[in-house]
Amino acid sequence: MASNDQLSVPQKDLAEAWRRTLPERLRAGDQAEVYEDEKNPNTLLITIQSAGRQDLEFDFAVTYVDSREIDIQLSDVEKDGQSVDERTDVMQELIADYRRHLHECAQALHHFTHA
C-alpha cells in the first residue's frame, strides 16, 4: 500500500505554529522570524538572530518532505549585515545547534502536521 503522506496544513497556519513553537526551543535571548516561502508551499524561511554580542543572523529554509520529515538548508550567515564564512568550527557548532532546534520544533509540531 503506497503512503500518501503529504503535508496538508496550509502554509500560513504552519508558519504561525512555528512562530509560536520555535522560540520555546531556542536558547534564551535568541530570536527567530518565520516567513512563508511564496515559491514553495511546503517551505518556511527562518531567520535566527543569535543572542549576545556577535550580532549573527542565520537564514534557513525548512522544507517539509512529507508530514513528518523536514529538510533544512542553510542559505546564509551574516554578522553585522555582512556574509561570513560558515565553515569555521565555531560557526559549524552554532549551525548544528540551530539545526537541532529546528528538528525539535518540527517534532513538537507532529501532532499538527501529521493529520
Q: Contact at 8 Å (CB) between 27 and 3?
A: no
What cell numbers appear for 1 in the block? Answer: 500500500
Number of separate domains in the chain: 1
**Is residue 34 in a domain?**
yes
Structural domain boundaries enclosing 96: 11-113
Residue 38 lies in a domain: yes
Residue 104 DSSP class: H
How high is the pLDDT of residue 115? 65
Distance of CA 75 to the CA centre of its chain: 11
In a domain, 6, yes or no: no
Residue 5 lies in a domain: no
pTM of this structure: 0.92
CATH of the domain at 67: 3.30.530
Torsion of CA 67, 72, 75, 80, to 10 degrees: 110
Nearest to 34 by CA among 55, 8, 9, 60: 60
- Encode the chain (115 residues) as per-residue pLDDT tens digits: 335 688 889 999 999 999 999 999 999 999 999 999 999 999 999 999 998 877 899 999 999 999 989 999 999 999 988 999 999 999 999 999 999 999 999 999 999 998 6
The span from the first CA to the last CA of the chain, in angstroms, equals 18
Supply the pLDDT for residue 1: 37
